[in-house]
A and B are shown apart, each in its own frame.
Chain A
Amino acid sequence: MTLLTRRAALAAASVLAAPAALRAQPAAARLLVIGGGFGGASAARFARVTYPDIQVTLVEPLTRFVTCPYGNLLLGGFKQIGDITHSYDGLRARGVTVVHDWAEAIDAPGKRVRLRGGQTLPYDKLILSPGIAIRWGALEGYDEAASQRMPHAWVPGDGSQTLLLRRQLEAMPDGGTVGFAIPDNPFRCPPGPYERISMVAAYLKRHKPRSKILALDAKQAFSKQGLFQDGWKALYGEMIEWVPGNRDGKVVRVDPREMVLESEFGVKHKVDVANVIPPQSAAAIVTGNGLAEANGWARVNTQTFASVTAPDIHIVGDANNGAPMPKSGYIANSTAKQAVASAIAALRGQAAPEAVYFNTCYSHVGEDYGISIVGVFRPGPNNSFVEVPNSGGVSPRGDLPQQRALEARYADAWYAAITRDMFA
């Protein structure tokens, strides 16, 4: 890079440090982003980098973001909470106005959002990436109080759920049983429960080798199943028992006092530690503002991510009805960029850009044993998403130690790269 470019860049950077100067320009379009997670932070950063003349405001209640990804490695003892916690300072330095508050109500015709603190923010285009809500009560007995005894650790918040689950594992005697309740599709991170089982097994093998894992699943099959089960056998022997839905694996009721997970046919499984991954829907800001369908998820235009009912509101990440795309951080990141580009194009009277969506989900089966699933998707007929035929798919099966070791390190690189693409 030439010295001149560097100087120009530095000059620009110092202006960016004073967003008020940008706000003073009356004509700048206003992009409002709600939710500072995988979709929202990616959208805010991409917008500032790609469209320097756009004003970007991000609303997120938490002052630090704890990722779900790599939370399972914390449970395994391979990461600390600080390793998966991110600050919004990088986005501020890029000129994003970060407001730490909850968005409470969306006035779609008036194009403004009311925050819990009382402030009202106007927008030209709104990007919503608020993630999921837990459907409390969908499993009988599983309410917010129950999650203090039987953590879900599926919505990151301040990280307290993941840390609680870790403490429970540490307190459990050797020879205990760790129970999992796993929901039906669709839910956040299809391979997530099985990576978590793997990481808990890694911890138990090292510290409590006589313990057992009982994984009760509402489904008959799961993401990367063959690869996971090969890995479980190779690394953890008989420690993990997975019970599919057609063998009465579906949990319908929990008793947090007695630490019981109860199946559809009334079998009561008493466990020492329980991780209940409950049924989910889009976050409250989506369902509470008439943006979700009856199934609890938002329907969007598959090229622009504009809500089918509110064209100035683009809904990305886990909150939308993205099937067959998985509810993953990578998809949230990839689709957030398309949503921003489409929103800006619309403001400029241009057509939305051609779309291609990308996903790779790595999972750690062991610390040095990684597997992956890749998917490339495009908008399809009748407002659908379609996976590109003959592309993507899972890692090869078989005894491939080098492939597994490489994928574990690529997973680490993914985590570092994508969190920089969100927050740096």
Chain B
Amino acid sequence: MALKLLAFAAPLLLALPAQAQAPLAAQGCLGCHGPNGAGQAPVPALTGRPAAETEALMKAFRANERPATIMGRIARGYTDAEIAAVAAHFAAQR
């Protein structure tokens, strides 16, 4: 949350470094996990989850090592680099 709100304040305060923007791969999550990834019950929140945890979860979904309703089908569409960027992005959100 803080990052997004800071982005709002940016024109008044300082120019926002480009890397603070959400990677576009993470934008795909918001249609179910809610704005900012904050969760939309019963779909869980992604924000604030440690990056290593999200990354491990996504890779387990991708490898079919964790039971899934739809996340397995989704995770198999993304690269390691995208999963890492998305995980880091949501870990930095509050």
Contact = CB atoms under 8 A, between A and B. Distances in A.
A222 interface: no
Interface string A94-105: 000000000000
A337 interface: yes
Interface in A30-55: 46, 49-50, 52-53
Q: Is the interface of A mostly helix, strand, loop or mixed?
A: helix
Contacts of B22: 50
B28 A11 contact: no
Contacts of A81: none
A6 B78 CA distance: 34
Chain A CB within 10 Å — which of B2, B28, B82 has the most? Answer: B28
B35 A420 contact: yes
Contacts of A50: 7, 21-22
Interface string B64-78: 000001100111111
Nearest to A337: B27
Contacts of A417: 30-35, 40, 43
Interface stretch (A145-153, A154-162, A355-363): A355-363
B42 interface: yes
Interface stretch (A289-297, A308-316, A388-396): A388-396
A5 B2 contact: yes
Given A5-B2, A6-B5, A413 B74 contact: no
A410 B42 contact: yes
A282 B29 CA distance: 27
Interface string A370-383: 00101110000000
B20 to A, nearest CB: 10
Contacts of A46: 27
A353 B23 CA distance: 9
A413 B70 contact: no
Nearest to A5: B2
B10 to A, nearest CB: 5
B28 A334 contact: yes
Nearest to A25: B11
B6 A5 contact: yes
Contacts of A11: 9, 12
A421 interface: yes
B56 interface: no
Nearest to B75: A391
A9 interface: yes
Interface in A1-33: 1-2, 5-6, 8-9, 11-13, 15-16, 22
A353 B21 CA distance: 12
Contacts of B76: 376, 388, 390-392
Contacts of B30: 417-418, 421
B74 A376 contact: yes
A338 B24 contact: yes
B91 interface: no
A403 interface: yes
Given A356-B78, A376-B77, A12 B33 contact: no
A142 B4 CA distance: 49
A413 B32 contact: yes
A293 to B, nearest CB: 27
Contact of A413 (B10, B27, B43): B43
B70 A395 contact: yes
A136 interface: no
B28 A52 contact: no
* Among all A-B residue pairs, the 4 with the closest Cβ atoms: A376-B77, A358-B28, A391-B77, A9-B5
28 contacts: A1-B1, A5-B6, A8-B13, A11-B9, A12-B9, A50-B7, A52-B7, A52-B11, A53-B10, A53-B11, A334-B27, A334-B31, A356-B25, A358-B28, A360-B31, A372-B70, A374-B77, A388-B78, A391-B77, A391-B78, A392-B77, A407-B70, A409-B42, A413-B32, A416-B40, A418-B32, A421-B30, A421-B34
Given A8-B5, A330-B31, A413-B40, 8 more contacts: A1-B94, A5-B2, A334-B31, A358-B74, A360-B31, A391-B75, A392-B74, A418-B32
Interface of B: 1-2, 4-13, 21-22, 24-25, 27-28, 30-35, 40-43, 69-70, 73-78, 82, 94
